[in-house]
Amino acid sequence: MSALPLPPVAAFRGRGGRAVRSLAEDKLLLASGAVCVAIVALALLGPLLASGSPSRTSILEANLGSSSQHWLGTDALGRDIFTRLLYGARLSLAGPALIIAVSTVLGTGAAITAVWVGGRVERVLNRVLDVLFAFPALLFAILVVAILGTGLVAPVIALSIAYTPYMARVVRSVARRERSLPYIDACQLAGLSSWRICSRHILPNVFGVVRAQASIAFGAALIDLAAISFLGLGVSPPAAEWGLMVANGSTALLNGYPQECLAAGACIVVTVVAFNLLGERLAVRSEGRR
């Protein structure tokens, strides 16, 4: 696993000016959206659905296959994998959610400010973004973990900073196009304040792209965080977390019991694909709307 470069949203254009289908007809958007909602709902309600405790060990029940008692089998310590996946979902999704929230706010704010003020401020921001782009996100996270110690906080801080330029770059290009339209000139001539023009006119008009990019970045952040947990730099072992479960299951995998690795890996893949598809469809729609 490595840090995936985020594809800029502009790459996903509707094909050949085809009219954007109505929401009900956009099956891919609905399906990926439904999966995303289901995943988040399971994460929130998980502990209610699960029967046992995620940390109840039982040496006698180690490495069991799937059965009516343990739907997805058990891990090397005899813990129920399905229960651990449900409990782990919260931790696995909360990290990326925090990262995306912070980097979206910072990136969008910086991009709109730079485009609005222009001149030297914009040039300085461009240089800062170039410098940030030069850091591989995962390496940067490992560096911060080395300073702040393992846990969820350090990687989340590091990845929030690392993801900000990706958001800023995409928003900047759309905001610049918006800024050049005459309705923004008209707002200025009407005497509206800069704050009002940026927050009420530019921001709502770039929001479609922000939303799409945030969804795509969510998947990438999930993978990065899982990789950090896999490397043992994230949350510590007794906790249930998908990346950690993949790491944990790797020993059992070599012994011929792949169920923990597969189950946790599948959760990561399904979630990432669902959020990527959602982001891609949202991007196409926000493009087609103009």
Partner 1 sequence: MSAPLLHAADVRKTFVVRDESGRRDELVAADGVSFTLATGGSLALVGESGSGKTTIARIVAGLETPSGGTVELLGEARTGGRVSRAVRKRRARQVQMVFQDPYGSLDPRQTVAACVEEVLREHFDGDRCWRRERVASLLQQVGLEERHADQRPRRLSGGQRQRVAIARALAVEPRLLILDEAVSALDVSVQAQVINMLVELRRTTGVAFLFVSHDLGVVRQVTEDCLVMHRGRVVEAGPTADVLDHPADAYTQRLLSAIPRPGWQPRRRTAEVSDA
Residue ranges in contact with partner 1 by CB under 8 A: 181-183, 185-193, 200-201, 204-205, 289-290
Smallest separation, CB 56 to partner 1 (Å): 53
State the Cα–Cα distance between residues 44 and 125, nearest whole angstrom: 38
Smallest separation, CB 196 to partner 1 (Å): 8
Q: Which is nearer to partner 1, 191 or 256 (CB)?
A: 191
Q: Which is nearer to partner 1, 6 or 202 (CB)?
A: 202
Smallest separation, CB 164 to partner 1 (Å): 26
Smallest separation, CB 222 to partner 1 (Å): 31
Q: Which is nearer to partner 1, 11 or 190 (CB)?
A: 190
State the Cα–Cα distance between residues 217 and 215, nearest whole angstrom: 5
Q: Which is nearer to partner 1, 102 or 114 (CB)?
A: 114
Evaluate whether 156 touches 186 at the Cβ level (below 8 Å). no
Smallest separation, CB 268 to partner 1 (Å): 36
Q: Which is nearer to partner 1, 100 or 209 (CB)?
A: 209
